[in-house]
Structure formats: structure tokens, C-alpha cells
């Protein structure tokens, strides 16, 4: 039985585990779950859309008036009191059908959600290199500040490719939303609140993080580099790292009047990072 379930899971392309992941609530990253689920929704949604819209257009053409025989014995009369025109059965069947599709899809999505929400896998017996790297991300108008476990801060996120990375996201001023599209990651950065996301960086290289919540003048250009390093290279860098003093200036500052030199708001001054 478990082989069957495992096969099904394999077929849908999520992960390598032969066990019924859903029931185990195994950890899954967003970049495993999202493309898979999105394509299922897209395929089914397109199918349902085509069926319903085609039927609608077909009915529209099929029952088009020829302009001569509009008046019939049972035509509605001006001033009549309304009554329901039968066909309740047909309605009930259609509703049930659509409800089954929607509820099945959403339930499946919910089980996958459990995997994402569970956080990085606990690998207690393994060597410490597999412990997730925890970084705090602080949104501030208009840059992303990263705080590493050793207390160093940086405006570029460097992560190793050999262990999970857990990000705790917050904001020092207004609401932002932190997202790394490459890894299908996104979460709100809210003053005085923490949200968490995690991912498994794999290929080394540079990707971009964006802001997804309107946060002021520099919102459009509030980006930051995320550099995924070879595990060993990361360890070397991390051992020698120091804090960045200021945000890395963005290339396209010609347009945006950056508010970095703006007097820090009371809020930012008072804010205590939890």
C-alpha cells in the first residue's frame, strides 16, 4: 500500500520519499510544492474553464433567437410575480460537481501546506552542518538587512548550498513583504511581528529578493542579492565576515529619491528586535 502511495507521490513529482508524505507531514519547501500544485490548478482550471465557457457559448449560439418566434405561450408577462423556473436538479448536480473539484483541490493543497508550515526537517542525529542556518531579515525603507547568528549584519544574503536556511522576517518601519521568486518564497515583514520561511538552497549563484508590499517611494527598487555559495566557501566567508555599515547602493538610484538620509523615524529608533 505504502508503495502505491509512494508511487503516486513520485508521479506528481514531489520529493523522493516512498512513504505517504501527506500522512507523515514531511517537510517540503515552497519550491517543491508551488510549481507542482500550481500546474495542477492550472491544468484543471483551464479544463473547467474551457468546458464551462464552451458550453455557455454553445448555448448562446444554439438558442439564439431568429427574430420571429419570440412570443410563446409561457413567455414571462409584464407585471407578473416572479417564480423560480424549475431545473433545480440540474443546478444541484452542477453545484455538487464543482464543489467536489474545488474541495478536492483545496484539501490536497492544505496537506501540502502542512509540509511547508512544518519548517525545516529536524535532523538531530546528523552532523551539525545539517542544522538549518537561521538568519533574521529586517525590512527597512528601502533595503533588506540580514542579521546572522553571530550578530553580524549584511545587506546581501549569503547562504550555503548544503543545508536548509530558515529566515525570520520582520520590519523596522512599515509593512513590507519579503520574497525570493527563484525559491517561491514570500512572507510579510511586519513591524513588531515575526514571520518565518525556509528553503533548501541548491545551485550556487546569485538570485534576487524583492519587496512585494507597497512601502513607499523606493518600493519598486527595494531588492537585494541572495548569493548561494558552496558550503565550504560559505563557512570560510562566515568565519571572517564583518558587518556592512550601510545598505549597498542600488544601481538605479537616478530615479528614486532614496530616503536613507531621511531622519530615522521614532518608530525605527524605538524598535527593539525580538
By CB under 8 A, name the one of 9, 137, 159, 174 that touches other proteins: 174
Establish whether the linkage from the previous residue to 16 is cis, with ω within 30° of 0: no
Is residue 90 close enough to count as binding other proteins by CB under 8 A?
A: yes
Conformational region of residue 84, where left means phi above 0, alpha means psi within -120 to 50, and beta covers everything else: beta
Q: CA 125 → CA 116, 152, 213, 231, 232, distances in Å?
A: 22, 28, 40, 20, 21
- 8-state DSSP, 79: T
Shortest approach of other proteins to residue 137 CB, angstroms?
14
Residues 142-171 that bind other proteins (CB under 8 A): none
Closer CB to other proteins, 120 or 160, in the complex: 120
Adjacent-strand bridge partners of 143:
140
Shortest CB 259 distance to other proteins, Å: 9
Shortest distance, position 163 Cβ to other proteins, whole Å: 22
Q: Which of 9, 14, 21, 116 binds other proteins (CB under 8 A)?
A: 116
At 149, list the grid cell.
547568528
Closest to other proteins by CB, 102 vs 233, is: 102
210 binds other proteins (CB under 8 A): yes
Spatial neighbors of 262 by CB under 8 A, at least 6 apart, are 141
Q: Which of residues 50-79 bind other proteins (CB under 8 A)?
A: 52-53, 55-57, 59-60, 63-65, 67, 69-72, 75-79
| Closest distance of CB 231 from other proteins, Å | 27
Three cell numbers, residue 153:
549584519
Contact 167/197 with Cβ under 8 angstroms? yes
Task: Decide if residue 227 touches other proteins (CB under 8 A).
Answer: no
Q: Does 22 engage in binding with other proteins (CB under 8 A)?
A: no
Q: Among 144, 167, 184, 229, which residue sits at the site for other proteins (rule: CB under 8 A)? A: 184
Give the nearer residue to other proteins in terms of CB position, either 85 or 125: 85
Binder among 2, 17, 129, 220 for other proteins (CB under 8 A): 220
Q: Are 226 and 167 in contact (CB under 8 A)?
A: no
Pair 187, 197: CB distance under 8 Å? yes
Amino acid at each position: 500500500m505504502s508503495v502505491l502511495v509512494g508511487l503516486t507521490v513520485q508521479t506528481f513529482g514531489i520529493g523522493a520519499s516512498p512513504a505517504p508524505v501527506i500522512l507523515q507531514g514531511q517537510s517540503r519547501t515552497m519550491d517543491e510544492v508551488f510549481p507542482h500544485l500550481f500546474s495542477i490548478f492550472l491544468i484543471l482550471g483551464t479544463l473547467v474553464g474551457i468546458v464551462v465557457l464552451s458550453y455557455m457559448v454553445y448555448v448562446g449560439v444554439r438558442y439564439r433567437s431568429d427574430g420571429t418566434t419570440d412570443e410563446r405561450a409561457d413567455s414571462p408577462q409584464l407585471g407578473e410575480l416572479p417564480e423560480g423556473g424549475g431545473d433545480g436538479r440540474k443546478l444541484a448536480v452542477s453545484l455538487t460537481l464543482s464543489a467536489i473539484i474545488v474541495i478536492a483541490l483545496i484539501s490536497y493543497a492544505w496537506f501540502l501546506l502542512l509540509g511547508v508550515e512544518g519548517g525545516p526537517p529536524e535532523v538531530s542525529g546528523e552532523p551539525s552542518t545539517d542544522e538549518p542556518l537561521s538568519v533574521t531579515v529586517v525590512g527597512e525603507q528601502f533595503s533588506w538587512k540580514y542579521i546572522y547568528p553571530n550578530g553580524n549584519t549584511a545587506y546581501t544574503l549569503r547562504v550555503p548550498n548544503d543545508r536548509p536556511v530558515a529566515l525570520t522576517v520582520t520590519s523596522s518601519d512599515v509593512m513590507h513583504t519579503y520574497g525570493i521568486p527563484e525559491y517561491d518564497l514570500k512572507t510579510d515583514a511586519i513591524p513588531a511581528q515575526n514571520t518565518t520561511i525556509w528553503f533548501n538552497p541548491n545551485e550556487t549563484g546569485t538570485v534576487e529578493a524583492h519587496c512585494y508590499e507597497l512601502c513607499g517611494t523606493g518600493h519598486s527598487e527595494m531588492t537585494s542579492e541572495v548569493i548561494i555559495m558552496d558550503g565550504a566557501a560559505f563557512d570560510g566567508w562566515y568565519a571572517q565576515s564583518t558587518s556592512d555599515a550601510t545598505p549597498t547602493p542600488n544601481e538605479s538610484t537616478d530615479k528614486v529619491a532614496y530616503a536613507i538620509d531621511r531622519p530615522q523615524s521614532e518608530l525605527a529608533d524605538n524598535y527593539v528586535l525580538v
